[in-house]
Chains A and B, each alone.
Chain A
Amino acid sequence: MARIEISELSKDFGSIMALDGVTLSLDKGCIVGLLGPNGSGKTTLIKILNGLLVPTSGTVEINGIEPGVETKKKVAYLPDRNALPDYMTSDQLVELYSDFFYDFDAAKAEAMIDDLGIDRNQVMQKMSKGTKEKLQLCLVMARQADVYLLDEPIGGVDPATRDYILKTIISNYNEDGIVIISTHLISDIESVLDNVIFLKEGRVVLEGAADDIREKEGKSIDELFREVFRC
């Protein structure tokens, strides 16, 4: 059984078709790049996997069950915005995660937070945008989850921080799990991807192992992306 099974998944917002008949089967032990331009349906797909959106039709299963309380125990999610209570300090947020997620390793999170030089007693609302993103990522990656859903984890940070974030993802994810990274900044992330999925106007236009695609197409994923999504 694949870690994630998506079958004929569609989602519309009135007249806008955000996802149109997406079918995917994703196995554990790899980092998957969910790639596409803005509005291609990446965030919609991630939200449905998290149970934050109800699909119009089709099915989604994580470890064989539909999104719900049981899957939420096993899915670590980094949203594309700050969703944590911003009046809390890093230490309080570590306690918050410890209270709700049994797979959360507080010592690991604290080590990452210290490593990044984040003041553990500073409330989140006083942190810079980049620091907030790094803190959220530390908390998410300190879980031993089966599935990591990272929505634009490198969107708003400087190149040095991007390197740190990618290093954090590679060195901390549960190797028995799967990491799905949604982004349109391909060149920064290409080196860490095992598999890629190209989404265009809600449809899967390309899916496969990154190495196979590079070999077959004779170009990098970034070059191929620019070609497929040329305006």
Chain B
Amino acid sequence: MLGKLLKYEIPAIGRKLLPLYGAWAAASIFLGIGLRGFDSESDLFSVLTILLYVAVTVAVIVMSVILIVQRYRNSMLGDEAYFNMVLPVSMNEHIANKGLSALIWMTVSTLASLVSIFLILLCSGSLFDVFPEFIKGIREIIAEVGAHWIIVLIELILLSILSSAKSILAIYAAITIGHQAKDHKTLASIGAYIALGMAESTVGNIFMRLGWMFNFGRFDNLIEFLSTHEFMTSQILMLVLFLVSIGLVAAYFFICKYFLEKKLNLA
């Protein structure tokens, strides 16, 4: 059933985000054209295109977060829940559906930001100056740090995806806990989010101290650590980070599941 849920969930968010991506692409093209004339007589146009680009970029980021929050609240705890929650679907599938679709759209938003940068460079005429420099820079980094660090880079990308999943589920857990309040559910959700964040940072501190004990270095200075330690040591650190992230994803998932299964009270 998860596939069927995703079939409807992904377009439900996309129908609102896709027009924003279109606006983002258009703003990128305008900015690229505007940058061509920067420092010349058309300065005002350039400044306007920069302002437009910043405004649209902020709108896309804010709307992405709002849509993900809204979709969860409305379809799991709001009016749409009266249909959604009577579907013959397990709670695991419901939560996985929301988490996966949000993760997919966050990844698409990240890719859209790369497309935006590409369009700016292309339209400003500097793509063919910047691109060879970019490739050269990448080659230099690989030559300096060694090709096996590419593995670390891939691991960092996977870790950031896992971290995004954790952030999404933390928001869902906070909304679900906040919904237990009789009144001021939004305020209660914000309070729950702060409390969960504090609990999470406490867990993080414990692992950081453990890291010190095992001489893995400080977890919050990852780049410095990776550049000064051996590859295998970095892999042990990565394993710990992966386990902590997976643990947090599981914890937030089960908070949502517990409250939705055992404490659901649709007003």
Q: Which residues of A contact B (CB under 8 A)?
A: 13-14, 47, 50-54, 69-70, 72-73, 75, 77, 79, 81-85, 87, 96, 99-101
- Any chain A CB within 8 A of the CB of B266? yes
B89 touches A100 (CB 8 A): yes
**A82–B79 CA distance with the chains assembled, in angstroms:** 7
B135 touches A (CB below 8 Å): no
Question: Are B88 and A69 neighbours in the complex by a CB distance under 8 Å?
Answer: yes
Closest chain-A Cβ to B56's Cβ sits at a distance in Å of 23
A172 to chain B, nearest CB (A): 19
For B88, list chain A residues within 8 Å (CB): 69-70, 72-73, 100-101
- Alpha-carbon distance A70/B265, docked complex (angstroms): 20
Tell me whether A53 and B86 are in contact (CB under 8 A).
Answer: no
- A51 interface neighbour in B8, B12, B85, B263, Cβ under 8 Å: B85
Select from chain A the residue with minimum beta-carbon distance to B7: A99
Interface assignment of B87: CB less than 8 Å from any CB of chain A: yes
Q: Which residue of B lies closest to A88 (CB)?
A: B8
Chain A residue numbers with a CB within 8 Å of B82 are: 52, 77, 79, 81, 83
B20: Cβ under 8 A from any A Cβ:
no
Residues of A within 8 A of B85 (CB): 50-52
With both beta carbons as reference points, the residue of chain B lying nearest to A75 in the complex is identified as B86
Cβ–Cβ contact B86 & A54, under 8 A = no
Dominant SS among interface residues on chain B: loop
Shortest distance between the CB of A209 and any CB in chain B (Å): 29
- Are A100 and B87 closer than 8 Å at their CB atoms? yes
Contact surface of B with A, Cβ cutoff 8 Å: 1, 4, 7-8, 12, 15, 79-90, 182, 262-266
Complex contact A84–B83 (CB within 8 A): yes
B85's closest neighbor in chain A, by CB?
A52
Residues of A within 8 A of B7 (CB): 99
List chain B residues, Cβ under 8 A from A82: 79
Q: Which of B1, B8, B81 contacts A83 (CB 8 A)?
A: B81
Q: Which 3 residue pairs of A and B lie closest in terms of their CB atoms, listed nearest first?
A: A83-B82, A83-B83, A79-B82
Decide yes or no: A81 and B265 within 8 Å by CB, A50-B86, A51-B85 being known contacts.
Answer: no
Contacts of B263 in A (CB 8 A): 54
Q: Taking each of B87, B88, B262, B266, which has the highest tally of chain A beta carbons within 10 Å of its own beta carbon? A: B88
Q: Please, which residue of chain A has its CB at the minimum distance from the CB of B3?
A: A99
With A69-B89, A77-B86, A100-B1 as contacts: A53 and B266 at CB distance below 8 Å: yes
Question: Residues of B contacting A77 with CB < 8 Å?
Answer: 82, 86
Measured between alpha carbons, how far is A85 from B263 in the docked complex, in Å? 24
Q: What is the CB-to-nearest-CB distance from A136 to chain B, in angstroms, rounded to a whole number?
A: 9
**Given known A-B contacts A73-B88, A87-B15, A96 and B262 have beta carbons under 8 A apart:** no
Q: Judge whether A85 and B264 touch: CB under 8 Å.
A: no
How far does the Cβ of A156 sit from chain B's closest Cβ, in whole Å? Answer: 15
Task: Establish whether residues B86 and A51, one from each chain, have CB atoms under 8 Å apart when the complex forms.
Answer: yes
The answer on a CB contact under 8 Å between A85 and B80 is yes
Does A69 contact B265, Cβ atoms closer than 8 Å? no
A75 and B88 CA atoms in complex are apart in Å by 9
Known contacts A81-B79, A83-B79: A14-B86 contact under CB 8 Å:
no
Contacts A84-B80, A87-B12, A87-B15 known; list 17 others, CB within 8 Å. Answer: A51-B264, A52-B81, A73-B88, A77-B86, A79-B82, A79-B83, A83-B82, A83-B83, A83-B84, A84-B83, A85-B8, A85-B80, A85-B83, A100-B4, A100-B87, A100-B88, A101-B88
Most buried by B among A50, A52, A54, A77: A52
**In the bound complex, CA of A231 to CA of B8 (Å):** 47
How many angstroms from the CA of A88 to the CA of B193 in the assembled complex? 33
**Residue of A84, A85, A96 contacting most chain B CB atoms (<10 Å):** A85
Q: Which of B82, B86, B182, B264 has the most CB of A within 10 A?
A: B86
Other-chain contact of A54, B81, B87, B264 (Cβ < 8 Å)? B264
Min distance, Cβ B52 to any Cβ of chain A, angstroms:
28
Given A69-B90, A101-B88, CB of A14 within 8 Å of CB of B182: yes
In the docked arrangement, what's the CA distance between A52 and B87, Å? 11
C-alpha gap A87/B84 in the complex (Å): 15
CB distance from B171 to the nearest CB of A (A): 21
Residues of A contacting B84 with CB < 8 Å?
83
B80 adjacent to A83 (CB under 8 Å): yes
CA distance A62 to B22 in the complex (A): 49
Question: Please, how many angstroms separate the alpha-carbon atoms of A75 and B86 in the complex?
Answer: 8
Task: Specify the chain B residue showing the minimal Cβ separation from A136.
Answer: B83
